[in-house]
A and B are shown apart, each in its own frame.
Chain A
Amino acid sequence: MRHTLTVTMLAAFTAFVPAAEALAQVKIGASISATGPAAYLGDPEAKTLRMLVEELNASGGVNGEQIELVFYDDSGDPNKARTFATRLIEDDEVSAIIGGTTTGTSMSILAVAEDSEVPFISLAGAIDIIQPVKTYTFKTPHTDRMACEKIFEDMRKRGYKKIGMISGTDGFGASMQAQCKSVIANYGIEIVADETYDPKDSDMTAQLTKIKGAGDVQAVLNPGFGQGPSIVTRNYKQLAIGLPFYQSHGVASDGFISLAGKDAAEGVRLPGTALLVADLLSDEDPQKAAVIAYKTAFEEKTKEPVGTFGGYANDAFLILMDSIRRAGSSEPAAIRDAIEATSGLAGTTGIYTFSATDHLGLDLSAFRMLEIKGGKWSLVE
């Protein structure tokens, strides 16, 4: 019994000790929420990164060196994310970090990355991650503000002046709700009904009934991600509200259509990336090659349909590898400079051009306005 205890404790200790280094390697780190409330986003991100590292190593690595990915799962907990970021930098000594599935985890990781001067590419949506610009932090997804702007652009085109909003109270939903409110006046639109729901709720008919009853609502917008928007969409159909319905980029995946049901999802519009309409892209579209490459590889490897979140991870990896190649070194400072110098890099989310004042690198044209028709994604006009 005594021995068992000692042996177990020793075993636990050795699990703690980092594995011995192999040949010359470029070490990159990842802290992603593959489990927990954001697992829906983090799981495809994790699978994407692992797949890409494997692929790249098989074809010779980068700058002649193999890539080692040190991967940690922070379960969506910002406290854990910070601990893992510290571990990546101080213990595993990585040259760069990709990760931060949620805004909370991203903010925690970037605090450590900025202090230790290691480049960090975030996979989360909030605009606060790159505004104000932080030296070492970049991000690949569109900001929630851009999603709002794209949606409002479309609404303005269709002549809507008064809309209702129903938002999830999770980080994504709440942040996008706030961003939308801050830019909506620029488009001459007014919010006349403003409801929320808890992401774990199973019925939003009460809130939607209130919106329906607000009288002069012309269209409805639902910022949120996960199961909430699917349920809202079904409730929307159940209540036969009949008004144009906009979702956010948080549900830009085939999963959303099957969960909401083809009938309920019919006519829903949302700002999505080229990834969802890969087959509809014209051959001259600069993103087509990157999109098709990722889609084929991911769907073959995981047997799951592709979604924008995995795409964010794909783009982050592309940018990082491209930067390491251009920098010709794996020194964090050199990599950072190379990332900032990225120009015209086509990813699945858009075409990236960073600068000292722009660590997002995308503009509204990267977003495509999509509409669900017959259970499939289609491009609007």
Chain B
Amino acid sequence: MTRFLTTKNVTLLVLILLVALSPLLFPSGFYYRVGALIFVNAIAVTGIVILTGYAGQISLGHAGFAGIGAYACALAPVHFGLHPALAIFLGAGISAVLAYLVGRPILRLQGYYLGVATLGFGILVSMVLNNERDLTRGPDGIEVPELGLRAVLKSIGVDLTNGEFWYFFCGICLVFGAWLALNLFNSPSGRALRALHGSEVAARTVGVDVAAMKLKAFVISAVYASVSGSLLALQNKFITPDVAGFMHSIEMVTMAVLGGVGSVLGAIFGAAILTLLPQVLTVFAEYEQLVLGLVMMLVMIFLREGLLPSILRKFKGRGE
């Protein structure tokens, strides 16, 4: 029995239960929407866990990949006649290639320099999306075609509302993405990533191809961000260039770090908190930024590993 209760299996089990059972508590259809948003954000954040949690690299521009994924779904069906579902893969492919090309020179940098380089990349992507009005319809945004999967399900007898469909679809994607990430963690690649996080020199000494591993983490996390962007665009049926903006990049990193960047479940927890915050604070919307800033500072100062690990520790009874 204990062999079954590995971190990976527990995480997946908790996730599956969360996705499947939460709807029983939903008072109205609105909660499906919030849930779907949490899952979409969590997918992007899982990518950040791989990049920052496993491999220890910083990216302040990952929303650029989300933007690519989102606009691939908006533009490919119109310009290439590609089905929106395939556009998700197209977006992921483009993001992967771009991550590979950009990553090779960028990942030689460290710390703040890596931060500013990724920042620059993210800003360039969002600038292109914003300025190329002829292609992307510019800052006012562009409509995204219907995915069509709900209609297919309806034809085989499964009738879901729009909210319900997206909730479960994103939930399933998240579980799948989490499963991949957890597999990666325990694989030789994952161990190599964690090694280089600890010390690049030491990792190199034991034969880890540090540059290749960093690039791998960067590319994989870019794909996660891209899929997240695609799902958001398809769900909203509308997307604007701020999906690729600096604030969105910061949001992604904050969610990961707040919840606990070392673990997939922690990052998902962080995504949930930040997604729920504006919904909870509605009466105090004026104070939202104040509260958000305060939360970011307090958690990072006092609960450095993130909220989830600290909460788990309290519940397990062990002291700090």
Contact = CB atoms under 8 A, between A and B. Distances in A.
Contacts of B279: 16, 83, 87
A373 interface: no
B280 A171 contact: no
Contacts of A107: 140-141, 143, 238
Interface stretch (B178-186, B189-197, B255-263, B283-291): B283-291
Contacts of B283: 15
B41 to A, nearest CB: 10
Nearest to B34: A83
A211 to B, nearest CB: 19
Interface string A51-92: 000000000000000000000110101111011001101110
B37 A169 contact: no
Contacts of A304: none
B238 A108 contact: yes
Contacts of A12: 276, 280
B28 A103 contact: no
Given A86-B163, A104-B139, A5 B314 contact: yes
A91 B311 contact: no
A126 B140 contact: yes
A34 B286 CA distance: 8
Nearest to B315: A2
Interface in B208-265: 232, 236-240, 242-243
Interface stretch (B4-12, B13-21, B54-62, B130-138): B130-138
Interface residues of A, number: 38
B99 to A, nearest CB: 24
Given A86-B33, A111-B237, A178-B133, A78 B141 contact: yes
Contact of B314 (A1, A83, A111, A128): A1
B201 interface: no
A277 to B, nearest CB: 30
A90 B162 CA distance: 12
B289 A174 contact: no
A1 B317 CA distance: 11
Contacts of B238: 78, 82, 107-108, 111
Nearest to B275: A83
B285 A90 contact: no
B281 interface: yes
A15 B280 contact: yes
Contact of B236 (A5, A78, A171): A78
Contact of A77 (B133, B242, B285): B242
Which among B138, B286, B315 has the highest number of chain A CB atoms within 10 Å?
Answer: B138
A104 B315 CA distance: 44
Residues of B contacting A: mostly:
helix
A242 B196 CA distance: 63
Contacts of A104: 139-141, 240, 242
A82 B236 contact: yes
B280 A16 contact: yes
A73 B285 contact: yes
B162 A128 contact: no
Residues of A contacting B: mostly:
helix
B81 interface: no
A35 B285 CA distance: 9
A140 interface: no
Interface in A1-23: 1-2, 5, 12, 15-17
Given A77-B242, A83-B37, A87-B30, A103 B281 contact: no
A170 B133 CA distance: 11
A115 B240 contact: no
B93 interface: no
B155 interface: no
B311 A34 contact: no
A34 B140 contact: no
A16 B275 CA distance: 13
A175 interface: yes
A219 B128 CA distance: 30
Nearest to A196: B131
Contacts of A115: 162
A170 B141 CA distance: 11
A126 B133 CA distance: 15
A67 B276 CA distance: 28
Given A91-B27, A111-B237, A170 B281 contact: no
B2 interface: no
A108 B37 CA distance: 15
B140 A171 contact: yes
A5 B312 CA distance: 12
Contacts of B288: 35, 73, 75
A337 to B, nearest CB: 25
Interface in B162-183: 162-163
B29 interface: yes
B278 interface: yes
Contact of A91 (B30, B133, B314): B30
Contacts of A169: 130-131, 138-139
Interface string A97-132: 000000110011001000100000000001010000
B163 A128 contact: no
Given A16-B280, A170-B139, A171-B140, 15 more contacts: A2-B315, A5-B314, A12-B276, A15-B281, A35-B289, A73-B286, A78-B236, A78-B242, A83-B33, A83-B279, A89-B30, A90-B28, A111-B236, A169-B139, A171-B139
29 contacts: A5-B311, A12-B280, A15-B280, A15-B282, A16-B279, A16-B280, A34-B285, A34-B286, A35-B288, A35-B289, A73-B286, A73-B288, A79-B232, A82-B236, A87-B30, A89-B30, A90-B163, A91-B28, A91-B29, A103-B140, A104-B139, A108-B236, A115-B162, A170-B139, A171-B139, A174-B133, A174-B140, A175-B139, A178-B133
Q: List 8 A-B pairs, minimum CB-CB distance, nearest first.
A: A73-B285, A91-B30, A90-B29, A171-B139, A90-B30, A171-B140, A103-B140, A86-B33
Interface of B: 27-31, 33-34, 37, 130-131, 133, 138-141, 143, 162-163, 232, 236-240, 242-243, 276, 278-283, 285-286, 288-289, 311, 314-315
